[in-house]
Structure 1
Amino acid sequence: MSKLIFDTYEFIKRLTAAGMPLEQAETLSGLQAQLIDERLATKDDLAQLEVRVDEKFSHVHKDISELRKDMGTRFELASKDTDIKLSKLKDTLVAWVIGLFLTQTSLLVGLFKLLPTSSAAV
């Protein structure tokens, strides 16, 4: 039930007391009541708006929570994938280092075999 916002009877009473004809006072009162009803927000209007805004924010909050969960899941998957790739890279790097070490050792052994051995000491 809406509360009385504009007392048309009191408005007409004051206008006629000030000398305005009753018909003009009634017309002006009706127009004033219509303007107030259409243009001004009541406490009930604001309460309804607050409820709608709260509902919208509730949906937004829910959406943000779901996005955070989804991003957390995606981050965990990306982190695991990165760990796997780093592990493979480490294995590849170790294999290369061992291969280079063996190649270097083979080259040194080959070079030592090619060096002439001198039996006479000077």
Structure 2
Amino acid sequence: MGQVAFDTQEFVETLENAGLPKDQARAISIAVRKSHEVADVATKADIVEVKHEIAEVNRNIADVRKDLSAEIADVRKDMEHRFEKVEAQITDARKEAAARADKTDAKIALLHKDIESLSNKLIIKMASVMAAIVGLATAIIKLV
């Protein structure tokens, strides 16, 4: 902090003009000057300097806010892009799963048809065997 201007000579003269002896006036002047030296008093220049420093800090804060806002916007864009990518992957996986399910359903339907066809063939063969057994049994009965 700067020092406040203090004219000791003028102060001594003022005290002498008020009727104090010169020695007392000097002693008081020295005491006042020392108290001003010790006192941490802000001058107008100090206040102006602090105001400039505060303004600089405010500008720095504004710059940081702008930078931070830009970074946040970039992060948001990146996250949106990633979410879109994940959503597309999920959509593709669902389509793939649906296609596999359709393929599986088609294979199951073919297996059902094959089983039904084999079942019908087996019934026909069993009927043929039964007819042969009945014919054989009839022939055996006629022979006996």
1:14-48: CA deviations, max 9, x gaps?
8x757772342232122123134xx1113332221
Question: 1:108: which partner in 2?
Answer: 109
Structure 1 position 71 matched with structure 2 position 72: yes
1:73 is matched by which residue type in structure 2? D
Unaligned regions of 5+ residues in structure 2, if any?
125-144
State the distance in 1 between where 2:45 and 2:103 align.
86
Question: 2:25: which partner in 1?
Answer: 22
Higher relative contact order (CA closer than 8 Å, sequence separation 6+): 2
1:110 is matched by which residue type in structure 2? L
- Using the aligned pairs only, state the percent identity: 10
1:70 is matched by which residue type in structure 2? E
Residues 17 and 97 of structure 1: CA distance in aligned 2, closer, same or farther (over 3 Å): farther
CA positional deviation for 1:96: 1.1
Question: 2:15: which partner in 1?
Answer: 13
Question: 2:87: which partner in 1?
Answer: 86
1:57-111: CA deviations, max 9, x gaps?
1012112201211221232122113212221221121111111122023113312
Unaligned regions of 5+ residues in structure 1, if any?
none
State the distance in 2 between where 1:26 and 1:88 align.
87
State the distance in 1 between where 2:62 and 2:20 align.
57
In the alignment of these two chains, the number of paired residues is 114
State the distance in 2 between where 1:60 and 1:88 align.
41
Query: Structure 1: which 4+ aligned runs deviate by more than 6 Å?
Result: none
What is the RMSD of the two structures over their aligned residues, measured on CA atoms? Answer: 3.1
